[in-house]
Structure 1
């Protein structure tokens, strides 16, 4: 367990989505994929306060709509079931019928009301969900066991690794834990992209406060990552707070709310960065920090523009210290900048000062760009606001993976 530099938040070395008390998860192979696990479930012993954020794509998949409607009933969930390999998106009336049947069957299998069950699907768009295989997955649900690692595997598509984390913090004298599992590798450019994230906590949290916290945190974490600039149809972040630690319900009026909010941001950032690092074909995580902006919104937009630039991404892949691509992206971000004040750094190596190139060692910069994590810093020197965005390099393998996605 690591202690974060931020107040009292412990980052757990082997944390999972079921690290918080009262949660269990599992996964099976139901036949949607050839061999890999493709159906998973996440379950709380008691109904949990729930909150969600969803893709802004106009083509919202049927399972996403079903889950939104379920959460809206009483802001609670007790279970989520997820399938990979098939997105059940752009599937019309039959797709909605199938999504509702998936929810109903899962609810019956777990002896729950349907509105307490959320569903998610990820994978190929425009193909009807094979309900016989979904039923096979639901019939295999075993709530008596907890195998979080199988859930993490079952939700993957082109991901190369599972993505999980947990943090803990003391509130009301009780050890509160927040866990998470996520998937996402391609079509990542939130406001939200092909990304699913499930966050759990054993804290008691007021539902309205949970939704507000999730929305605010998403803007600073999940919505600050990009892989390829494409936004998908199914993306969802769901949070479940089951209150098993019996703390006083958290809200902004609670004296230790800031502690909880800080821990929530930390786990969201960890999961977001893992998604960015695992971009399809990626070899490097790129972090773009923009400071000295006139507003946080401006800083965020500029950071996201730099990290989204294919020219920046390919330069990082090739370990080419081509700072011109960075300033170019800053310039077309749509935010007003003063070129004569802009500084640019590759790691600790300053390459631009007040808009003009410096005489730096290209050899040292190239060596730096060969690292697995690259930081690009842009100082606008126009204000006091800052923001950070995360992405990855763009490689030959990205083209190979997406050229053969259906085959």
Structure 2
């Protein structure tokens, strides 16, 4: 996996990951839920103050018990933290699975002396099996939460990911410096809609409920909801944002300079984590970035971009270095977006292959070479408006098939 850069979209990157903002602690242990013995149970907690919290969840009709519990608790508010496990999704497990999730929360709340109603729960892994509660309870007893536990949190939520994904930045506002941290996991069943696999974001800024909800939903739409690994949406997708106000630096609801700067920082963290989810996806060897411009509105641009990134024919062409850009046109035409095929432009990397609806003379070997790079860029101009959106996806390899044909064996 990529290490975070020293600077992320103009913001200084700092150590600590999701626990970098003041007032958050976390950690993870090996509870034995995963047969491998890897870290598989952990938590993030605001130590002194409840948080303004907002979240987006899977829209799959089959949902994990944690999703239903967390949605209700977010609406009731406030929230202090989240306890999670990997290796078992606790999905399609009936009333018993729901009760297990509540018992998971209760055991954590008692261990760390926090109100049970202020704790969320998240589970990821194999569907259709009850949580091994004896192992869960023993894991909670051994769990320690510290300021330095960010790396353990990042590793404790992994399933078949290539590696952990975490980043944090500082944002200098006019009244002081605040911090934004994030961690994510996701390798397969990655095609979210108003959600992600797991993405936990934290900040020590003071935010109102309304501002936090609005800006986080916008950030999710432009990042986690703009990625695809395999076109399947998980039953447990959860994107969570916690703001504990520990910095004592507030961000106004108005569209002033501080609000715009905070939004830029949050978007930057979400975009980086979203791209890393793709990069670490099952069998992924290349990250595909599709930018659609000149659309009548952002939703149309995003819809077109996501259709291209999720096309298996586009994915396989890129994996094999096949300069078949006609598959991009095919996917665009299937996107449901209204456009004039005789007006579009398409570029592969910096190579224009279609201009005003007409194929250009270009070197196929150059397109093939770009498709074999680690990061592939495809540009599509609809030339029918001013809106732009970007989506990310991965190639489709034989390794993906191998992983998912042997997931439980």
When normalised by structure 2's length, the TM-score is 0.95
Pick aligned residue for 1:230 from 218, 232, 241: 232
Q: Number of residues paired by the alignment?
A: 403
Call closer, same or farther: CA 1:315–1:43 in 2, change over 3 Å.
same
CA distance in 2, matches of 1:15, 1:37: 18
2:57–2:196 contact (8 Å) kept in structure 1: no
Within the candidate set 63, 67, 74, 2:66 is matched to 63
| Change over 3 Å in CA distance of 1:54–1:193 after alignment to 2 | closer
1:252 CA displacement: 3.0
Misfit runs of 4+, over 6 Å: none
Which residue in 1 is equivalent to 2:26? 25
Q: Distance in 1 between matches of 2:315 and 2:172?
A: 40
1:133 correspondence with 2:135: yes
| Structure 2: 5+ residue stretches without partners | none
State the alpha-carbon separation in 1 of the partners of residues 195 and 321 from structure 2.
27
- Structure 1: unaligned runs, 5 residues or longer: none
1:371 is aligned to 373
Q: How far apart, CA to CA, are the structure 1 residues paired with 2:146 and 2:195?
A: 33
- Give the Cα separation in 2 of the matches to 1:264 and 1:114: 28
In the other structure, the counterpart of 2:316 is 314
Shift of 1:242: 0.9
**What do the CA deviations read for 1:227-262 (whole angstroms, capped 9, x no partner)?**
010011100011111111101354236652111111
- Whole-angstrom distance in 2 between the partners of 1:363 and 1:388: 26
1:2-151 mapped onto 2 (5 Å cutoff):
2-4=6-8, 9-12=10-13, 14-34=15-35, 35-45=37-47, 46-74=49-77, 76-144=78-146, 146-151=148-153
Give the CA deviation at 1:19.
1.1
2-structure distance, mates of 1:388, 1:355: 21
Q: Structure 2 CA distance, aligned partners of 1:292 and 1:194? A: 27
Aligned ranges for residues 248-327 of structure 1 at < 5 Å? 248-252=250-254, 256-327=258-329
Deviation digits for residues 92-124 of structure 1, max 9, x if unmatched?
110111011111111111111111111100001
CA distance in 2, matches of 1:405, 1:194: 21
Tell me how far 1:173 sits from its aligned partner. Answer: 2.9
How many angstroms does 1:193 deviate by? Answer: 6.6
TM-score (norm 1): 0.96
Aligned residues: CA RMSD: 1.5
Q: Are the aligned partners of 1:95 and 1:129 in contact in 2 as well (CA < 8 Å)?
A: yes
**Does structure 1 conserve the Cα–Cα contact (< 8 Å) formed by 2:16 and 2:150?**
no
Report deviation, 1:272: 0.6
